[in-house]
Amino acid sequence: MTRQVKRAFKYRFYPTDEQAAELSRTFGCVRLVYNKALEDRTRAWYSEQRRISYAQSSAALTEWKKTEELAFLTEVSSVPLQQALRHLQTAFGNFFAKRAKYPRFKSRKKSRASAEYTRSAFAWRDGKLTLAKMTQPLDIRWSRLLPDRAQPTTVTMSHDSSGRRFVSMLRTCECGAVHDRAVNAARNILAAGPAASACGDGVRPQRESSRTGRSSAKQELQRATAETSRRQAGGKVKLPSTPMHPTPLG
């Protein structure tokens, strides 16, 4: 049975002035849409105990674009804005399921600037990536090659506090191999050289011992044993606390 595995490949890129300006506008619009939708959801929940769905937020976004104040939202690709609403929906789902804390507003200075593009918002031809609203492909520094015939399904653009710009490409592998979940799998594949397949089938992780001198496998076993003992002893899992009403956007 073929098993689909999603793998991400991250690279630095160097945009032109026009591309940098377009990405800067997109980052700002993504942050604004996320925060405005979060403000609406927060107001509805604390004043009426009413939940707002993704569909309702998406409909609200359409109305925002029609206003004179937020008409500039139409100047950037609509896909990253919709993806911001989807991420907010996921955040609320995790909150109500007691898997995470209440979603926070994104800060221009403290939060990582990012924008996610799905297939309808970028072109991938001959190993070159061109985003929506752009006429030229990005200047990507390929620190490692993508597997042959790889087709990215999602690309995420980001900009850190040091001014470095990154693109993360997500692709789906359908090789049928049983992939290892080790975080250092990419390093092991590169170390294996040409003998490794494109997806890393057959490459096992070379786990290093930690500063305690014990292997990672033994540490994981000890943690699992301790967790089981704690639960049997009647320990309670700490659930997220109810958040305070966040400060509305100015």
pLDDT recorded at residue 4 = 63
pLDDT of residue 139: 97
pLDDT tens, N- to C-terminus, the chain (250 residues): 555 667 889 999 999 999 999 999 999 999 999 999 999 999 998 899 889 999 999 999 999 999 999 999 999 999 999 999 999 999 999 999 999 999 999 998 888 899 999 999 999 998 899 999 999 999 999 998 887 777 899 999 999 988 899 999 998 765 544 444 444 445 555 555 554 444 544 444 444 444 455 555 556 566 666 666 666 665 444 434 445 445 444 3
Segment 27-32 long-range contacts (CB within 8 Å, at least 24 positions apart): 27/113, 27/114, 27/115, 27/159, 28/108, 29/72, 29/73, 29/75, 29/76, 29/80, 29/81, 30/80, 30/81, 30/83, 30/84, 30/114, 30/115, 31/84, 31/106, 31/108, 31/111, 31/113, 32/70, 32/73
Asked if 80 and 117 touch (Cβ cutoff 8 Å), the reply is yes
pTM over 0.85, yes/no: no
**Do residues 154 and 116 lie in contact, with contact meaning Cβ atoms separated by under 8 Å?**
yes
What backbone torsions phi and psi does residue 130 show, to the nearest 5 degrees? -125, 125
Closest C-alpha to 140, from 114, 162, 177, 165 = 165
The confidence score (pLDDT) of residue 168 equals 95
| Secondary structure E strands in the chain | 5-13, 113-118, 122-125, 128-131, 140-141, 154-159, 165-173
What is the per-residue burial (b if ≥16 Cβ within 10 Å, else e) of 89-103? Answer: bebbeeeeeeeeebb
At residue 227, the pLDDT reads 64
Confidence at residue 151, expressed as pLDDT on a 0 to 100 scale? 85
**What pLDDT does 166 receive?**
97
Q: Beta 5-13 vs 165-173: how paired, if at all?
A: antiparallel
Nearest CA to 117 out of 71, 170, 65, 62 is that of 170
In this predicted structure, what is the pLDDT of residue 153? 93
Q: Which of 129, 128, 115 is nearest to 158 (CA)?
A: 115
